[in-house]
Chains A and B, each alone.
Chain A
Amino acid sequence: MKDLENFTEFYALYNSEHFKERLTSISSSSKLPEEKVSELKKTIERRISQLKALKDYVKQITPLIGNKMANDLLISIDANIESLEVTDKTLKGMMDSITADGFDLLKENVNTLNDKMFELDNIVAKIDSNFEDSLYYSVVSGAVTIDELESMKNKPGLSDEKIDMIEKTVERLTKEKEQTAEAEDQAEQQAVEDEKGNESETTDEVVEETIAVPSVSDGDAVTETVVDELQRRLDQIVYQPGMNYAQTVAYVRAEYELEQLDKQIEALKGKEKLSFKESVLLNQLVNQSTDLMLMLQAMNLSRKEQRREGQIFDVNQRLDEQNARIQREQEQRETYQSRTLQFISLAREHRLTARMEQIQAHMTRIQSNQRTSSLLAFDKQYKRLIRKSRRKARGQVVTQRATEAIEELRALRNDVVNEINNVRADVERFIHRPELVDHLREKPVTLNAQPVPIMLPEVDELEATIARAA
Chain B
Amino acid sequence: MENALVVKNQDGKEVTVNVIDIIEDTVNNKQYVCYNFTEMDGVFISRLVETEEGYSLETVTEEERDAVESSLAQIVPEE
Assess whether A433 is interfacial by the CB under 8 Å rule: yes
Assess the A465–B75 pair: CB atoms within 8 A.
yes
Query: Which of A450, A451, A462 counts the most chain B CB atoms within 10 A?
Result: A451
Q: For residue B46, which residues in chain A have a CB less than 8 angstroms away from its CB? A: 447, 449, 451-452
Assess whether A428 is interfacial by the CB under 8 Å rule: yes
Assess whether A211 is interfacial by the CB under 8 Å rule: no
Number of interface residues of B (CB under 8 A): 49
Assess whether A453 is interfacial by the CB under 8 Å rule: yes
Majority SS of interface residues in chain A?
A: mixed
| Cβ contact of B21, chosen from A429, A455, A466, cutoff 8 A | A466
Q: For residue A453, which residues in chain B have a CB less than 8 angstroms away from its CB? A: 42-45
Assess the B69–A429 pair: CB atoms within 8 A.
no
- B64 to chain A minimum Cβ distance, whole angstroms, is 9
In the complex, residue of chain B having the shortest beta-carbon distance to the beta carbon of A469 = B75
| Total cross-chain contacts (CB, 8 A) | 140
Assess the B56–A466 pair: CB atoms within 8 A.
no
State in angstroms the CA–CA spacing of A469 and B45 once bound together.
19
In the complex, chain A residues 248-269 whose Cβ is within 8 Å of any chain B Cβ: none
Assess the B15–A447 pair: CB atoms within 8 A.
yes
Q: For residue A440, which residues in chain B have a CB less than 8 angstroms away from its CB? A: 5, 19, 22, 33, 48, 55
Query: With contacts A456-B72, A465-B75 known, is A448 near B58, CB below 8 A?
Result: yes
In the complex, chain B residues 19-70 whose Cβ is within 8 Å of any chain A Cβ: 19-27, 33-36, 42-46, 48, 51, 53-60, 65, 67-70
State in angstroms the CA–CA spacing of A443 and B72 once bound together.
27
Assess the A429–B74 pair: CB atoms within 8 A.
no
Assess the A466–B59 pair: CB atoms within 8 A.
no
Query: With contacts A445-B5, A448-B58, A449-B59 known, is A466 near B53, CB below 8 A?
Result: no
- B49 to chain A minimum Cβ distance, whole angstroms, is 8
Q: For residue B59, which residues in chain A have a CB less than 8 angstroms away from its CB? A: 448-450, 452
Q: For residue B36, which residues in chain A have a CB less than 8 angstroms away from its CB? A: 459
In the complex, chain A residues 178-195 whose Cβ is within 8 Å of any chain B Cβ: none
- A421 to chain B minimum Cβ distance, whole angstroms, is 13
Assess whether A200 is interfacial by the CB under 8 Å rule: no
Assess whether A437 is interfacial by the CB under 8 Å rule: yes
Assess the A444–B24 pair: CB atoms within 8 A.
no
Assess the B56–A452 pair: CB atoms within 8 A.
no
Annotate A419-446 by CB proximity to B: 1 below 8 A, 0 otherwise: 0000100111111111011001101111
Assess the B22–A437 pair: CB atoms within 8 A.
yes
Assess the A429–B25 pair: CB atoms within 8 A.
yes
Assess the A443–B55 pair: CB atoms within 8 A.
yes
State in angstroms the CA–CA spacing of A469 and B71 once bound together.
11
| Cβ contact of B43, chosen from A448, A450, A459, cutoff 8 A | A459
Assess the A444–B5 pair: CB atoms within 8 A.
no
Query: With contacts A444-B54, A456-B43, A456-B72 known, is A434 near B26, CB below 8 A?
Result: no
5 sampled A-B residue pairs with Cβ under 8 A? A441-B6, A448-B58, A448-B59, A456-B73, A462-B34
Additional 13 contacts, C-beta under 8 A, given A426-B70, A428-B26:
A427-B75, A429-B71, A430-B71, A432-B23, A434-B19, A437-B5, A440-B5, A440-B33, A446-B51, A446-B54, A449-B59, A456-B73, A463-B21
